[in-house]
Chains A and B, each alone.
Chain A
Amino acid sequence: MTASAPPPVGAAARRPPRPHIIVFLAPALLVYTAVMIVPLLETLRLSLFISVKNETVFRGLANFGTLFFDDRYAHAFWNALRNNIFFFIIQMLQNPIGIGLAALLALPRLRASAFYRTAIFLPTLLSFVIVGFGWKLILSPLWGVAPSLLGDVGLKFLFAPYLGRESSALTTLGLISVWQYVGVPMMLCYAALIAIPDEIIDAAEVDGIIGIEQFFKVKLPLIWPTVGMISILTFVGNFNAFDLVYVTQGALAGPNYSTDILGTLLYRTFFGYQLQLGDPNMGAAVATMMFLIILAGVCVYLFALQRRLNRYQF
């Protein structure tokens, strides 16, 4: 609210009715409520029910009991959760890389800075279908591009069918995701770095703090809030990720479910796959768990982290 909002014309003790406020707000509120909020609540509600012969029966938290402990679901659920956490940790590699690139780009009077930024940001815009299949081709042992490139630098022995091995598939997908999204922390940190006022940098230089030391002692602490924001957005994105795994490894998230994350588990549980029948209520239970995890992450960020990461108003 602006403090200087105009007083309604002829404001007396009672304001005249202002139907235009409702007209302005109604379309957005209507679509948003009907298509986003209500279905979300409906999904949460469905997780408490079970359908028996076309009738829905209230089951309380029993679906979650099934999800956590029943043999049919528990193994897949804990596996997906573990994989998802691992996927998030790998994804966090984007922060140090992005900050490093941003620090270089923010060097005063660096030539071609705009070109580097534009180029490094490009993969972020591509769809997972392109990124996933593209990397699948490049890493394919059949084609042999990756081994011959590694061979050129004498590292051919490092090559393995990275996406086809249980031990390395998820890490590889995580790194592909880092490759695609490193532009985001780079861009946001770059913007934060160039927004640091010259006086602060001058003051640091007067105190003899320059170069690398200046970066770690002065600039980095000033951009922590940005890094915190990127991290929470990445957290949210990762715990509802689906496309990259689905595109490269299929809905079964192979090999042997080693790349299964909550998004692919939700898809299989809800729609069914091969021998497994789809179950909307169990699907809703998985979605509810994703919701709670994301909510927990966002709350930790809002109430614990963000307060400590002081925002500096320049």
Chain B
Amino acid sequence: MLSYVGRRLLQLVPLLLVISFVIFVALEMAPGDPVTLLLGQNASPEAVAELSAKLGLDRPLLLQYLSFVTDAVQGDLGVSYRSGREVAFELARTTGVSATLALTAMILAVLIGVTVGIVAAVKQYTFIDTVTRVGVLAMVSLPVFWLAILMIIGFAVKWPIFPAFGWGTYGHLVLPAIALSTYPLAVIARLTRSSMLEVMSSDYVRTARAAGLPERTVVMKYALKNALVPVMTVIGLQFGGLIGGAVLTETVFGIPGIGRLIVTAIEGRDYPVVRGAVLLGTVVFVLINLLVDMLYKWADPRQRGV
């Protein structure tokens, strides 16, 4: 297991090199120029030339990339063009916030999604199952930002239970976490339901029932364990989706997270911040997938030693 983890982590190195190069080229090719955007009304040919030189943007791309890699290896991700703050600081101040939001949303999605999926499967073709299926369909189709605004109007303005925006207390977490959890919740519920249905009709479940085990034990102990294996993979993938959802959720709820940092950085062509955030996102995504693979091996003995 250890060598497996080590191997996976080592694979991160070339991956990060490739990704960072791709970002470099993509930012260079994308329209929009940080220098003229920074100078705005004050742009003059001399000011543009001077600032390009100051930011090192007048050097050949490959040279810029090499010096970026050299610095990054030493832990220096550079300084934001806009705020003058260290990129590492910007990432540190936003990552905890986004991680809290994403994790809370994921816990909600898993707990509720799995429960709903099980109930719907056990009560297949009943009223509950129909309601669940319609509800899940609605949740998958709802745009996050629309739902978020609706929730703000409902639970911050009409019935002022939660704050309308911002960050700082547990109350601030409730609405954004619910908004962010809807999509993964629906996906998990749907998958749990179909996976449970498949397992419930398998031989060993029939055997367990025939042996006279109580239905509750059959469902919770024997069926669920196997039904959840594919669900786990989806949970890992949904985490990646949460990063995208966080951009919208954080903007609507005014949360100082990494999604908003990235949006502002892209609008201002703040290259160092964009690079830093994408690299961090890559690392997080790889680590989460690694974690899921390990859970997978743990839950499914057949996967061990593969």
A-B interaction: no
Chain B residues packing against A (C-beta within 8 Å) = none
Chain A residues packing against B (C-beta within 8 Å) = none
